[in-house]
Structure 1
Amino acid sequence: MRLFHRLAVSLALILVLAAPAGAGEPLALERIEASGVVRVGLTGDYKPFSWEEPEGHFEGLDVEMAGALADDLGARLEIVRTSWPSLMEDLDAGKFDIGMGGISVTEERAKVALFSTPLLSDGKTPIARCEEAARFQTLDQIDRDGVTVIVNPGGTNEKFARANIKTAKIILHKDNASIFEEIVAGRADLMITDAIETRIMQKLHPELCAIHPDAPFTQSEKAYLLPQDEAWKARVDEWLAKMEASGEKRKIFVTWVE
């Protein structure tokens, strides 16, 4: 009996040690099906994907896409406010099931998370006051003494600026929703951001001009950010394929982008 008891204890210990981290916690798709709620993380500060105005009210391309996903799942949509600096921490903490809102696919993010099928390709390009746009056509023209580059913290915009701007002054502006007003007011010379955003902002601020948005400095893909749950990724990709085939995805994109 003592030998049997020791063997049983040893076997139980082996099973505990072999169990994956987080075992017992429901995976994303299982949790959504059980709760009837899909939680979508949005920053609410990046047009045309999502913005929050007034407080608590979200609009944008990915708000509409999030609603379509919830309908397809037969679940209630719950929008969870996140931010670019806390995006990956919030995903890891399980605060949302899927991150939307113009998230760029990067190697760093892909090491700890999954991404959906890409939604579009885009790249970093400048936006400046129209009368000064000719001064900032290249990185060499931008990265000079006396030039001020404004950037929102925590995302790929700041990462690009830190990697490429060594001489010009970089200033951080925490509120991405009002950052373009700083350029209009002359408190910064330009911002380098995704081309899709520069196109939207030059429409909203006629004083600003997107600089060669069709030929950006970089090329990257945007996709939806997911926890490491292959079944959930497969379900999201299946939904995106249906949206593509039906023309619904294009309809939504055209409404907000063109």
Structure 2
Amino acid sequence: MLARIQENGSIRIGLEGTYRPYAFHDDSGELVGFEKDIADKIAEGLGVTPEYIETEWDSLIAGLDVDRYDLVINNVGITEERQQKYAFTEPYAQSIGRIAVPEDSEVQAAEELEGKRSAQTATSNWAQQMEKLGAEIVPVQGFAEAIELVVQGRVDATANDFISFQTYQEEHPDAAFRLLDAELPTDVTVGVIMQQEQQPLLDAVDEILAGMKEDGSLAAIYEQWVGQDITPEA
């Protein structure tokens, strides 16, 4: 695949394109975000042009199976289940989970969510985490829909990365939700995901990411978009 990518002069990259600040469209319609910046750097390191293909989360990873794109960069948690079917790079970010509930909710701790309704994309890491806590999953298309259901009081909770909540709060300071104090118990790291048996491409992307960690450019991207470095500890 790497030879084909370099021969074509472009790499097809799958992402949602609606997930602020990971990758989203700004007011001018331009695709921006920290994962988009990382993907740009990967393409640059490979010496090719990135071609972004936007897809809803629940069919995003499956797009690899039908060769819709060459890799996906979209806050995809590295899990044993996914590693059985796909190849992951070394992690490029640490995911820190939090749980949001309506502002007037009586829920104060994650342990109180058993039997409650949590809005999640059905195949996400967060849905699995909430199921472990005994919550009933209400399927949604993405974070924006999930947090709106919480704000409207139509579900009891939603779990996601703290970055998503932080960004939403900055944009909607009066939104009627609050975060539970404790972090969601998870050691999830995220990586670039691609088809199995793509060792040359995997090695090349790993080398680019390692270089970004070493020269500080990865941390600089996070500082710009998130305000803190979320590079995983070695």
TM-score normalised over the length of structure 1: 0.78
Deviation at 1:39, TM superposition (A): 1.0
Indicate the SS of the match to 1:108. helix
Amino acid at match of 1:71: E
Q: What does residue 210 of structure 2 align with?
A: 241
User: Retained in 2: the 8 A contact 1:42–1:79?
Assistant: yes
Q: What does residue 122 of structure 2 align with?
A: 153
- Residue by residue over 1:137-179, the C-alpha shift from the partner in whole angstroms, topping out at 9 and shown as x without a partner, is 43321224xx43212232222233334325xx53222243332
Of the candidates 55, 58, 79, which is equivalent to residue 52 of structure 2? 79
Q: What does residue 220 of structure 1 align with?
A: 188
Q: What does residue 146 of structure 2 align with?
A: 179
Q: What does residue 19 of structure 1 align with?
A: none
Q: What does residue 138 of structure 1 align with?
A: 109
Q: Percent identity?
A: 25
User: Retained in 1: the 8 A contact 2:25–2:31?
Assistant: yes
- Going from structure 1 to structure 2, the CA distance change for 1:112 and 1:65 (only over 3 Å counts) comes to same
Mapped pair 1:92 → 2:65: yes
Deviation at 1:44, TM superposition (A): 1.9
Q: What does residue 6 of structure 1 align with?
A: none
Amino acid at match of 1:129: P
User: Retained in 2: the 8 A contact 1:150–1:170?
Assistant: yes
Structure 2: where are the runs of 5+ without partners? 228-234
- Residue by residue over 1:56-95, the C-alpha shift from the partner in whole angstroms, topping out at 9 and shown as x without a partner, is 7422111111112222222111001223222332112111
Of stretches 73-82 and 197-206 in structure 1, the one that deviates more from structure 2 is 197-206
Q: Distance in 1 between matches of 2:195 and 2:89?
A: 10
Indicate the SS of the match to 2:58. coil
Of stretches 65-74 and 29-38 in structure 1, the one that deviates more from structure 2 is 65-74
User: Retained in 1: the 8 A contact 2:14–2:53?
Assistant: yes
Larger fraction in helix: 1
Mapped pair 1:125 → 2:98: yes
Q: What does residue 190 of structure 1 align with?
A: 157
- Residue by residue over 1:82-123, the C-alpha shift from the partner in whole angstroms, topping out at 9 and shown as x without a partner, is 232223321121111121021100111101111111112224
Amino acid at match of 1:176: F
Q: What does residue 21 of structure 1 align with?
A: none
Deviation at 1:41, TM superposition (A): 0.7
Of stretches 180-189 and 95-104 in structure 1, the one that deviates more from structure 2 is 180-189
Q: Distance in 1 between matches of 2:187 and 2:107?
A: 19
Q: Distance in 1 between matches of 2:64 and 2:122?
A: 18
Structure 1: where are the runs of 5+ without partners? 1-27
- Going from structure 1 to structure 2, the CA distance change for 1:217 and 1:190 (only over 3 Å counts) comes to same
Larger Cα Rg: Structure 1 or Structure 2?
1
Alignment: residue pair count: 224
Q: Distance in 1 between matches of 2:59 and 2:26?
A: 20
- Going from structure 1 to structure 2, the CA distance change for 1:85 and 1:131 (only over 3 Å counts) comes to same
